[in-house]
């Protein structure tokens, strides 16, 4: 394993969470990995695939993503190919020959292509030793990114009995994980959830006022950075790009209403060229493998915590600092509710979509550390991060222990099975038939909260959910119940403070250092060499017609600048320099270093 890791990828040790799933796959066991973006999920199936003698089928959702991943693997000297509609008939035939002879070890395909009857028939005659499914959250109808074509993959265990299957995703809550484990594996799977935290990403949420002015202020100090601006409508994407271009930035547009070729060209430019800002709808992003995206800006509220996590997770994949900012207004909530109701989904899916939206709104209104609220959604606990707007610029909170106890008392007295809206009706003393039918108008908590309006109580409950006092059941009927911390609040052992409902002044956006954090340790001479190494990388990338990061990541160039290797043996010790890249590019970079040392 370690030899393959060093020879092919140029790394000397595995990242946390990689080694055990690889061992499971080598032992013929099924694996389901939930790992944050940038944590090295692909390596988990690529290592055993390259160690084995058979064929690994990799299911991926997008042609552009497949092409990029295969290009990156080929630069590493790995025998990988893809079969998709962009491949010419001649290349297609040559790839199939390589697959049949065993020359190809990794074959990337879309779910539709793989599950086609004739393709499956051919595959069953080959020595398929593993199947890997990327973006596996698309399988579950309970997930917010369900794709019907992915559901066909649940038949894989019958088509390839005894062949280990690995599913990978960066975002799946507990309900989605259980659904995938049952459908894809019949629950016969080793599940690894290795954490959702992306500590290098600064998180911020600002009340929406003038989105154009807020976007302009955000990008002012980010000239030359790559970023993504997510917009809810196609027109807003066009307006955002026009604004950014007028301010001297290089902005492109991506949405479903564009000509396909123009859209694809813009995506290629974003991935390959530095300093481009993509203004896009959520149609853009799945599987975008660009490590140096320095920011993600949401002009509108996403649809769920999972989608928000996926979208802002496209920033900072290289581990360097990145910023994520979201604008949030009451109009966003109304529009998102309308989208859910207008969707084709059944009543149960709509109900869950509403509850997921509730959790995202709770995150936006979180009175304490945003990262704590985000990770709590995925079942993790953490200390305050000191890298979000609430930690860096705390808002004025109102002491709300009494209000929190009112909420909990109303929940307990009604059996902890009703949703937030009903609890709010109890607190404001709403005279409605449903409350009378249950006899809840006779409770001592009925009308006890008339000093606040229903929207204010809704905001308080969302903040109690975000702070861990109340649990919202997304999986069942949307009821809210009291957590252990909530019990402590009810008996007065802890206090609760909340952010008063207001769309007042915008919160400050976390700033960032002029120099990337990772480069601050370099001397002035090292920085000069790093600049020359990046120029060499750009020239090579242009010649190879690949994104610059596929030649070497920034981390590798920084390591070169520090170590200043003088020969091929020393260059082999640089982070991320494997055998194939050493042979292809080692001499060129050694020459750059030699000239830089003069």
In a domain, 286, yes or no: yes
- Tens of pLDDT along the chain (598 residues) come to 999 999 999 999 998 889 999 999 999 999 999 988 777 889 999 999 999 889 999 998 877 778 888 988 999 999 999 998 888 888 889 999 999 999 999 999 989 889 888 889 999 899 999 999 998 888 886 666 667 778 889 889 889 999 999 999 887 778 888 989 999 999 899 999 887 889 999 999 988 878 999 999 999 989 999 999 999 999 999 999 999 999 999 999 999 899 988 988 998 899 888 899 999 998 786 657 788 899 999 999 998 888 899 899 899 988 889 999 999 876 787 788 888 888 888 888 888 888 888 889 889 988 788 999 899 888 888 888 989 988 888 777 889 999 999 999 999 999 999 988 899 999 999 999 999 999 999 999 999 999 999 988 988 988 888 778 998 776 556 688 999 999 999 999 999 988 886 534 444 444 444 345 555 568 888 888 998 999 999 899 888 888 788 899 888 999 999 999 999 999 999 998 999 999 999 999 999 998 865 4
**How many C-beta atoms lie closer than 10 Å to residue 581's C-beta?**
24
Closest CA to 235 of 278, 269, 280, 270: 280
In a domain, 288, yes or no: yes
Q: Which domain holds residue 446?
A: 398-498
In a domain, 510, yes or no: no
How many structural domains does the chain have?
4
Do 68 and 30 share a structural domain?
yes
**Domain stops at, among 193, 220, 244:** 193
Do 419 and 380 share a structural domain?
no
CATH code for position 552:
1.10.150.80
Closest CA to 409 of 476, 496, 466, 489: 489
**Domain stops at, among 392, 418, 440:** 392
Residues facing 21 on adjacent strands: none
In a domain, 308, yes or no: yes
Do 372 and 260 share a structural domain?
yes
Q: 442 near 329, Cβ under 8 Å?
A: no
Do 205 and 171 share a structural domain?
no
Measured CA to CA, the distance from residue 227 to residue 224 in angstroms comes to 9
Do 380 and 297 share a structural domain?
yes
**Domain stops at, among 392, 421, 443:** 392
Do 532 and 387 share a structural domain?
no
* Assigned token pair, 390: 């609430």
Q: Tell me, letter by letter, the H, E, C secondary structure of 15-39.
A: CCCCHHHHHHHHCCCCEEEECCCCC
pTM of the predicted model, to two decimals?
0.73
CATH code for position 170:
3.40.50.300
In a domain, 508, yes or no: no
* Assigned token pair, 367: 């009175």
* Assigned token pair, 176: 């989605």
Name the residue with tokens 């790559």: 226
CATH code for position 449:
1.10.10.10
Do 211 and 156 share a structural domain?
no
In a domain, 529, yes or no: yes
Q: 258 near 264, Cβ under 8 Å?
A: no
Measured CA to CA, the distance from residue 274 to residue 200 in angstroms comes to 20
Do 557 and 423 share a structural domain?
no
Do 372 and 237 share a structural domain?
yes
Query: Residues near 494 by Cβ (< 8 Å), separated by ≥ 6?
Result: 485, 488
β-strand pairing of 497-498 with 398-399: antiparallel
In a domain, 504, yes or no: no
Alpha-carbon torsion 126, 53, 7, 591, what sign? Answer: negative
Do 364 and 268 share a structural domain?
yes
In a domain, 509, yes or no: no
Do 454 and 374 share a structural domain?
no
Do 142 and 33 share a structural domain?
yes
């Amino acid at each position: 394993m370690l030899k393959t890791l060093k020879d092919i990828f140029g790394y000397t040790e595995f990242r946390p969470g990689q080694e055990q799933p690889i061992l499971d796959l080598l032992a013929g066991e099924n694996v389901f990995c939930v790992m944050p973006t940038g944590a090295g999920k692909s390596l988990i199936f690529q290592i055993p695939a390259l160690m084995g003698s058979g064929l690994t089928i990799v299911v991926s959702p997008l042609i552009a993503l497949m092409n990029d991943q295969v290009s990156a693997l080929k630069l590493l000297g790995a025998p990988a190919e893809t079969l998709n509609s962009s491949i010419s008939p001649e290349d297609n035939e040559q790839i199939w020959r390589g697959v049949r002879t065993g020359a190809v070890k990794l074959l990337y395909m879309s779910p539709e292509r793989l599950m086609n009857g004739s393709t499956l028939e051919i595959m069953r005659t080959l020595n398929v030793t593993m199947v890997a499914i990327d973006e596996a959250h698309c399988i579950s109808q309970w997930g917010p990114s369900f794709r019907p074509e992915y559901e066909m993959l649940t038949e894989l265990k019958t088509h390839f009995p005894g062949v280990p299957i690995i599913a990978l995703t960066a975002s799946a809550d507990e309900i989605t994980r259980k659904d995938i484990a049952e459908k894809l594996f019949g629950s016969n799977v080793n599940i690894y959830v290795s954490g959702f935290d992306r500590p290098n990403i600064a998180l911020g949420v600002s009340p929406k006022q003038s989105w154009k002015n807020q976007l302009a202020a955000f990008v002012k100090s980010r000239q030359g950075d790559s970023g993504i601006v997510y917009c809810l409508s196609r027109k807003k994407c066009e307006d955002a790009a026009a604004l950014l271009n007028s301010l001297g930035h290089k902005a492109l547009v991506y949405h479903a209403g564009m000509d396909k070729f123009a859209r694809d060209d813009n995506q290629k430019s974003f991935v390959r060229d530095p300093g481009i800002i993509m203004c896009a709808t959520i149609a853009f992003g799945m599987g975008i493998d660009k490590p140096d995206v320095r920011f993600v800006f949401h002009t509108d509220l996403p649809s769920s915590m999972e989608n928000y996590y996926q979208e802002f997770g496209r920033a900072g994949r290289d581990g360097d600092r990145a910023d994520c900012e979201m604008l949030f207004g009451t109009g966003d909530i109304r529009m998102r509710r309308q989208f859910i109701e207008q969707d084709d989904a059944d009543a149960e899916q709509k109900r869950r979509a509403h509850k997921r939206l509730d959790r995202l709104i709770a995150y936006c209104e979180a009175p304490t550390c945003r990262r704590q609220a985000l990770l709590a959604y995925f079942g993790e606990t953490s200390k305050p991060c000191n890298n979000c707007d609430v930690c860096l610029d705390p808002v004025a909170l109102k002491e709300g222990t009494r209000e929190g106890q009112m909420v909990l008392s109303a929940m307990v007295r009604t059996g902890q099975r009703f949703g937030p809206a009903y609890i709010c009706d109890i607190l404001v003393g709403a005279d409605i038939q449903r409350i009378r039918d249950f006899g809840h108008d006779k409770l001592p908590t009925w009308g006890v909260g008339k000093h606040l309006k229903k929207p204010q109580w809704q905001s308080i409950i969302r903040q109690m959910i975000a702070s861990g006092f109340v649990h919202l059941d997304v999986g069942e009927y949307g009821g809210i119940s009291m957590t252990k911390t909530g019990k402590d609040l009810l008996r007065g052992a802890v206090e609760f403070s909340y952010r008063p409902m207001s769309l007042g002044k915008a919160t400050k956006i976390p700033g960032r250092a002029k120099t990337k954090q990772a480069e601050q340790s370099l001397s002035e001479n090292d920085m000069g060499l790093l600049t020359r190494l990046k120029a060499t990388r750009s020239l090579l990338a242009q010649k190879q017609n690949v994104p610059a990061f596929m030649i070497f990541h920034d981390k590798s160039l920084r390591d070169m600048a520090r170590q200043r290797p003088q020969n091929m043996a020393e260059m082999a010790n640089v982070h991320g320099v494997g055998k194939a890249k050493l042979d292809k590019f080692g001499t060129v970079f050694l020459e750059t270093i030699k000239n830089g040392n003069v």
